[in-house]
Amino acid sequence: MSTETKSVKHKKEKPTPCPSTICPVSVTLEIISGKWKGIILYHLFSGNKRFSELKALIEGVTHRSLTLQLRELEEDGIITRTVFPVIPPHVEYALSPLGRTMEPIINAMYDWGVAYSKLDIKETQNSVSN
């Protein structure tokens, strides 16, 4: 009894057309682009944070950069800024419901970054080219 093995070629599907002006990938990257936005979102997934808490958690961020990135995320509807009517002023940043939907995206980026940082890039490139 002989068995025959057939080579199955998978047809590579063409990616869905993505005009640069409305490409969903571009839209997403536009929202989270910025040196600190992904890190800000990552820290807000664990709960509301004050400005000073975020600044302490994000090594190397300047006061100005953090202010600008928070403002952009707020303008995009990703986070909310709540000012409490107390003295001294108390402001908290939180994820909006829309921002909460970004959690799987940021977590996937985190996981990919961990895996990438463990790679030996030269070794990986050599094994791919052989």
**CATH at residue 104:** 1.10.10.10
Residue 104 covered by a domain: yes
Q: By residue range, what is the domain housing residue 67?
A: 24-118
Report the candidate in 100, 120, 103, 99 with the shortest Cα–Cα distance to residue 111.
103
Residue 93 binned pLDDT confidence (cut-offs 50, 70, 90):
very high
In a domain, 37, yes or no: yes
Q: What is the DSSP string of 29-58?
A: HHHH-STTHHHHHHHHTT--EEHHHHHHHS
User: What pLDDT, on the 0 to 100 scale, is given for residue 8?
Assistant: 43
Split into its structural domains, the chain has a count of 1
129 part of a folded domain = no
Domain contains 19: no
Average of pLDDT values for 5-9?
44
Structural domain includes residue 28 = yes
Given this model, what pLDDT does residue 48 score? 98
Bond preceding residue 19 cis, omega within 30 of 0: no
Report the alpha-carbon angle 73-77-71, nearest 5. Answer: 30
Question: pTM of the full predicted structure?
Answer: 0.74
Instruction: Report if residue 125 sits inside a domain.
Output: no
**pLDDT at residue number 77:** 97
The two tokens of residue 120 are 């030996």
pLDDT at 23: 85
Whether 124 maps to a domain, the answer reads no
Indicate the average pLDDT of the chain: 85
